[in-house]
Amino acid sequence: MASFDSIRREAANPADNAWKRFTRWLRRRLPMGLYARSLLIVIIPMVLLQSVVAFVFMERHWQLVTQRLSAAVTGDVAAIVDLIATFPADRDISEIVRIARDQLDLSISVEPGGELPPPRPKPFFEILDQILSEEISNQIRRPFWIDTVGNSNLVEIRIKLDDGRMLRVYARRNQAYASNTHIFIVWMVAASLVLLSIAILFLRGQIRPILALTKAAENFGKGQKIDDFAPRGAVEIRRAGLAFIQMRERIERQIEQRTAMLTGVSHDLRTILTRFRLQLALAGNNPDLESLNQDVDDMQNMLEGYLAFARGEAEEDVGQLKLSDLMTRLAAEAELHGKTLTTSIEGEDEVRVRPNAFTRLVANLASNAYRYANRVNIDARHSAKWVTITVDDDGPGIPERSREDVFKPFFRLDEARNLDSSGTGLGLAIARDIARSHGGNVTLGDSPLGGLRATVRVPA
């Protein structure tokens, strides 16, 4: 029933559906960048305005001027026709030729007999041919033939007189035609180019602070230093830049306070653990105290894990890390654990990350795989935009419903991949924290090997 209603609605609103399809098509083809869209906002109205102005000019002004010029030339030709008709046929018309040449700037000749040539094909965009033909028909009212396309500088007019003779008139094109129209077009285009150049320079100046703010936010999200950022540009952009700086300062202050608190707690607990170790050492080699020594070691490891999680390696600078060196280190660790490890690297060997933090990120994922699986495969791909590292194993895996929970600090999975007694429940939490500090993420999925797949994806 629902499908029938939807079909009926679509059939009832074909115009709405067509408009939606058009808007989707238009959105896919419009530029996505703010700079390009701003240019379109400037260019499209200017082009539309100039098109309207040019159309009005061509349709009104240019046509009106051409019509008046053609009417004036046609009036001169009509006067010559009347003069020739007034004079006897055997009379010399040299004076009329002189008057037409000197006073009217027309070159004329009268030929005996003859027929008019067949009409020439009319040019598609030639307004002179149409207007001049109309004026000759209205003023002279005799059979005629005109040529406006033969010689670009002259217009030829042939008129059959009443006595059978042929009058040929040559007039300059600019006498009957507004030939300076291109000057208007040139000035209009030149002014548009100047205005567009100014608009482009202005828009670049307005977009540059937005790009600087974007880059600063991206670098801060990756844990990189952004000491050279300063708010610039329009008032709204400056306010956004100041808000970003204040947000960054609050986050950094919160991280510093958390790290300072954990450092102080760590120092105090280390002092107590040191006293425990001293007392146990003074107690001698008592087998009954081995469990206490193990508990002290576990507490020390847990304390270091908590502190590392709170610190997050945020103070480390960005540098170069060779993926081949990282794979060599992981292979040595796999050999130490007696596990089978296969690695592969695709793309550039060097990546720009925080080396120690990124190494710890991959090492945590690999250690987690070594703990529960016998066979592990690590694949690294370095493309133009991303660094992707995939860790596959043949272990028991993690249920899909728990794959987000295992990233929570101190979370312990009570199923197949339960953390052993030496773990702190922070390994995956630290891994995701480091990945997100680089602007990326860590996700879990099913492995082709039958176990768990951990995928690290950070910007290159």
Do 355 and 434 share a structural domain? Answer: yes
Q: Tell me, yes or no, whether 331 lies in a domain.
A: yes
pLDDT at 224: 67
Judgement on whether residues 307 and 359 belong to the same structural domain of the protein: no
- CATH number for position 415: 3.30.565.10
CA distances from 370 to 137, 331, 336, 398, 445 (A): 101, 11, 10, 15, 17
Complete DSSP assignment for 393-433 = E-S----GGGTTGGGSTT----STT---TT--S-HHHHHHH
Distances, alpha carbon 41 to alpha carbons 33, 134, 233, in Å: 12, 44, 20
Q: Which residue, of 215, 238, 270, is where some domain finishes?
A: 215
Q: Range with the lowest mean pLDDT among 45-54, 132-141, 162-171, 180-189? A: 180-189
Pair (406, 323) in one structural domain: yes
Q: Are residues 410 and 364 in the same domain?
A: yes
Examine the domain organization and report whether 271 and 356 are in the same domain. Answer: no
**Segment 240-243 long-range contacts (CB within 8 Å, at least 24 positions apart):** 240/213, 241/209, 241/213
* Average pLDDT score over the chain: 79
Same domain, 285 and 431: no
Whether residues 348 and 428 share a domain: the answer is yes
Domain extent, residue 261, equals 230-311
22 occurs within a structural domain: no
Instruction: Choose one of 285, 311, 337: the last residue of a domain.
Output: 311
pLDDT above 70 for 186 = yes
Q: Which residues pair with 339 in a beta bridge?
A: none
Tell me, what DSSP letter sits at residue 348? -
Q: How far apart are CA 371 and CA 379, in angstroms?
A: 19
- Rounded CA separation 395/416 (Å): 9
Residues 230-279 pLDDT 10s: 888 888 888 888 898 888 888 878 877 777 777 777 777 778 888 887 88
- Identify the pLDDT of residue 310: 59
Distance (Å, whole) CA 107 – CA 158: 12
The per-residue pLDDT for range 376-397, each reduced to its tens digit, is 999 999 988 889 999 999 888 8
Residue 42 has what pLDDT? Answer: 82
Greater pLDDT, 270 or 193: 193
Between 286 and 48, residue with greater pLDDT: 48
What is the number of domains present in the chain?
Answer: 3
Of 311, 331, 354, which closes a domain? 311
Do 279 and 303 fall within a single domain?
A: yes
Tell whether 17 is covered by a domain: no
pLDDT in the model for residue 377: 92
DSSP single-letter state for residue 127: H
Q: Are residues 44 and 139 in the same domain?
A: yes
Q: In terms of domains, do 391 and 299 share one?
A: no
Please tell me whether residues 272 and 363 are part of one structural domain.
Answer: no
Q: Can you give the CATH number for the domain in which 178 is found?
A: 3.30.450.300
pLDDT at position 312: 55
| Residue 1 pLDDT exceeds 50 | no
**Model-level pTM?**
0.51
Q: Is residue 23 part of a domain?
A: no
Residue 222 counted as domain residue: no
pLDDT for the residue 6: 52
Count the neighbouring beta carbons within 10 Å of the beta carbon of residue 60: 10
pLDDT tens string 80-92: 888 888 876 666 7
Instruction: Give the CA angle between residues 161, 162, 166 to the nearest 5°.
Output: 25
Does residue 236 share a domain with residue 150? Answer: no
Residue 297 has pLDDT above 80, yes or no: no
> Per residue in 329-380, pLDDT tens?
888 888 888 888 888 989 888 888 888 888 888 988 888 888 888 899 999 9
- Whether 38 is covered by a domain: the verdict is yes
Specify whether the CB–CB gap between 140 and 77 falls below 8 A: yes
Residue 273 belongs to a domain with what CATH number? 1.10.287.130
